[in-house]
Structure 1
Amino acid sequence: MNHIPIGLQLYSVREAMAQDFLGTLRQVADIGYTHVEFAFHNTSNDGSFEVGYTAQELKSNMEQMGLQVVTSHVSYHPNLDWDQVIRYHAELGSGGVVLPGYFFKDKDDALRLAEWLNASGKKCRAEGMDFYYHNHFHEFQAFDGQTIMDILLENTDPSHVLVEFDTYWAMRAGVDPIAYMDQLGNRLGLLHQKDLSASASPVNLFELEQVSGVLTPEVVFSTVKPEDFVEIGTGVMDIPGILKKAEELESVKYIILEQDVTTKSELESVRESYQNMMKLLK
């Protein structure tokens, strides 16, 4: 069986990268990672897309390290120059761009975002890149009896908008990740994988009293504790089953490891996850 390539979401080492961007990339490469996904979340502040390196400079440095960019998370902002984002990633040699989440007041919000996703995905496709939506748990909230995820999938073009499925966050919504992977089928292009602590309670965050009504970022991210996130292979998620299903679907291009938060140092955490994932793939 040919295993799907493993990558790292660099949000996992954001504090280290803020101190030493290129040095942290070298340390990631030294661990053994060959594929990475950037996290350009600062665009949500005012819509400015500023990296600090030209695409050619960053690409050259990464090539010297043996690193390849898979995709980047680029946060939504109404003033974001999407054409600039696409040009940068095309020059960087990226395989695509990911919208790393959105927060919804009602069904109309979801329908409006679906229109934006279609338009943005069409622009990416014109440049030979894929475009993805990445879920957290709140997209499984229902509006008028239909989950946000289903609204987005139903109202976006499968040829322009794919899904980067975060199995951890789906599980925190009370969703069976493997069953949902089947439901996504060939719309599942990328997989985000982390692990859930056995002590996390409740697993389904919708059971919490404060998780109702409009789920703002403050509500969503106040529901989880650092100790709920553990390194790959040390928690309760059925990662072997998820890997098996990803292989079966044949649409998954990369499995990207991510550690939203950790009780360890960032680089120690991503090293442990990488080593444990390599053992699972043997």
Structure 2
Amino acid sequence: MKKTTNYLIILIVLFTFQQNVFAQPSAKKLYKYPFGVQAYTFRNHFPKDVVGTLDKIQKMGITEIETSGAKGVTDEEYKKLCDARGIVIPSTGAGYDQLEKKSQDIVTKAKIFNASYVMCAWIPHKGDNFTIEDAKKAVEVFNNAGKFLKENGLTFCYHPHGYEFRPYENGTLLDYLIKNTNPEFVSFEMDVLWILHGGGNPVKLLKTYGNRWKLMHVKDLKKGVVGNFSGGTPAENDVVLGTGQADWKNIFKQSNKIGIKHYFIEDESEHELENVPLSIEYLKNLK
């Protein structure tokens, strides 16, 4: 009887140990969200074959896409093609000029896609010289457009592109944009590569501005690349996640804290068919 009791105790201890050991890895996973992609990643594919491109995206295990649609199909057709493949469209894009005009076309497209967010990725400016005057004009445009979009059930997000890191007063022009836009109407989408390229710190910015960040482009900058304020870099400087400069562990720790739920992998290299699956595997195994 005593031996049987001892065996039972040993079995219980081993079972408990096993449960703890095997439960810990999944509990520590940092990336817990659907896999998304920015449609620009497949810019060389969509013009040739919309259906085939969406098939490729589906086979990669991607279930979210940020897109403005594709040439050759209507927005309604595009949405049906995505629906058939279990791909949802949380976010769509709009041009600065459309926002300035508060174009109803932005709302129409977003409603067709059943999107919740509208993003803009560029503020017009001359050459590489983004100025305080450009920033002031953008604040006005974004506040007005953001109010218009909120009235239509949508959240506006500006996507900084690196040129906003020019110094201004005690910070940068990006600080100016965030502090002077109305949080009720204007949110932001972080593109990690462009933040790094402009000289910014993604983790610090997530901590500083919290839930002003609603979306993220998951994108890595090649090691050794020194950025600038141009808002541009050769396509080959986009690399597989985890092989570049980004501190993904701390980025996701912070983005989890502030509640970002939609992440779009973007790869502007010419190796997207190889790179995107490798980036997805990296996210799956990030702990």
The TM-score with structure 1 as length reference comes to 0.82
| AA at the equivalent of 2:86 | G
1:125 match: secondary structure: helix
What is the CA deviation profile of residues 59-89 of structure 1, one whole-angstrom value per residue up to 9, with x for unaligned ones?
A: 2221101100021222323686621121121
Q: Who is 1:233 aligned against?
A: 242
Asked if 1:61 corresponds to 2:90, the answer is no
Residue 255 (structure 1) aligned to one of 256, 263, 282: 263
What's the RMSD between the two structures over aligned residues? Answer: 2.2
Offset, 1:170: 1.1
Distance in 2 (CA, whole Å) between partners of 1:80 and 1:261 is 33
Offset, 1:183: 1.1
| AA at the equivalent of 1:59 | K
Point out the more displaced range, 64-73 or 101-110: 101-110
Residue 122 (structure 2) aligned to one of 95, 101, 120: 101
Offset, 1:185: 0.7
Offset, 1:256: 1.4
Distance in 2 (CA, whole Å) between partners of 1:120 and 1:56 is 24
What is the correspondence of 1:144-159 to structure 2 with a 5 Å cutoff? Answer: 146-159=171-184
The TM-score with structure 2 as length reference comes to 0.80
Aligned length: 253
Q: Who is 1:14 aligned against?
A: 43
Offset, 1:154: 2.1
Q: How much identity, in percent, do the aligned residues show?
A: 27
Asked if 1:269 corresponds to 2:275, the answer is yes
| AA at the equivalent of 2:231 | V
1:111 match: secondary structure: helix
> Gaps (5+ residues) in structure 2?
1-26
Q: Who is 2:24 aligned against?
A: none
2:200 match: secondary structure: coil
Distance in 2 (CA, whole Å) between partners of 1:258 and 1:125 is 27
What is the CA deviation profile of residues 169-209 of structure 1, one whole-angstrom value per residue up to 9, with x for unaligned ones?
A: 11122222101111121101011111122232x2xx23xxx
Asked if 1:83 corresponds to 2:104, the answer is yes
Offset, 1:273: 1.5
Mark the CA change 1:89 to 1:52 in structure 2 (over 3 Å): closer, same or farther: farther
Which has the higher Rg, Structure 1 or Structure 2?
2
1:97 match: secondary structure: strand
| AA at the equivalent of 1:239 | W
Q: Who is 1:47 aligned against?
A: none
Distance in 2 (CA, whole Å) between partners of 1:269 and 1:259 is 7
Distance in 2 (CA, whole Å) between partners of 1:173 and 1:276 is 25
| AA at the equivalent of 2:277 | R
Distance in 1 (CA, whole Å) between partners of 2:113 and 2:236 is 35
Q: Who is 1:192 aligned against?
A: 217
Offset, 1:116: 0.9
User: Is the Cα–Cα contact under 8 Å of residues 211 and 258 in structure 2 kept in the other structure?
Assistant: yes
| AA at the equivalent of 1:73 | G
1:15 match: secondary structure: coil
Residue 36 (structure 1) aligned to one of 62, 65, 72: 65
What is the correspondence of 1:75-224 to structure 2 with a 5 Å cutoff? Answer: 75-77=95-97, 82-104=103-125, 105-143=130-168, 146-200=171-225, 202=226, 205-206=227-228, 219-221=230-232, 224=233
Distance in 1 (CA, whole Å) between partners of 2:275 and 2:263 is 17
